[in-house]
Amino acid sequence: MREELLGPTVENVGVAVVESLTETNEKIYNVYLLNLREDIIEGIIITSKGYGENVNTGEKIETSMLRHCIELLLPNEAARIEPIMEEVFGLANEYWVSFWIDGTMYDKKFIFLPETISPANMKSIPVLGDKGVLIMQTA
């Protein structure tokens, strides 16, 4: 019975922070939702927030919570969620993703831990082809 309360397992869905260059060669970062499933996901709701502690003062820091909606995401497709500033890479950046597949609701929390969004951790992101940091829930 406890497994029923947990809901279905999210597989082959991920969140990525991707680095790209503007026309003036400035680095910018965007957050994407990736659907690497064989089916369409729809009714997608995403909340995002950052939280942590100032390393110099010990003061708690929390960003505003943002809410995003994406109608549907086709198989092997990505959708941009939001831009993200380098200044918050030192915080835990949380993306709570909820969506529907064939009448069943799924949800999963993806958390980029402090300092994990860095050039050392960037790899090629499937579907997008750009470099970034990916949190993927696979089978």
Q: Is the pLDDT of residue 7 over 80?
A: no
In the chain, what are the domains?
2-134 (2.60.40)
- Write the CA distances from 91 to 46, 60, 114, integer angstroms: 18, 10, 5
* pLDDT at res. 2: 56
Residues 6+ apart with CB under 8 A from 108: 10, 13, 96, 97, 137
- Model confidence at 74, in pLDDT bands (50, 70, 90)? very high
Strand locations in 54-113, DSSP E?
60-62, 66-73, 77-84, 92-101, 104-112
Kindly report, residue by residue over 81-107, the tens digit of the pLDDT: 999 999 999 999 999 999 999 999 999
Asked whether 20 and 122 are in contact (CB, 8 A), the reply is: no
Is the separation of the CB atoms in 88 and 34 below 8 Å?
Answer: no
pTM, to two decimals = 0.91
- Structure tokens of 44? 């997608």
With bands split at pLDDT 50, 70 and 90, how would you rate the model's confidence at 133? very high
Query: Quick one: pLDDT at residue 57?
Result: 86
Residues comprising the chain, all counted: 139
43 Cβ partners below 8 Å, 6+ apart? 71, 72, 99, 100
- Reported as a single tens digit per residue, the pLDDT across 24-68 is 999 999 999 999 999 999 999 999 999 999 878 889 999 999 999
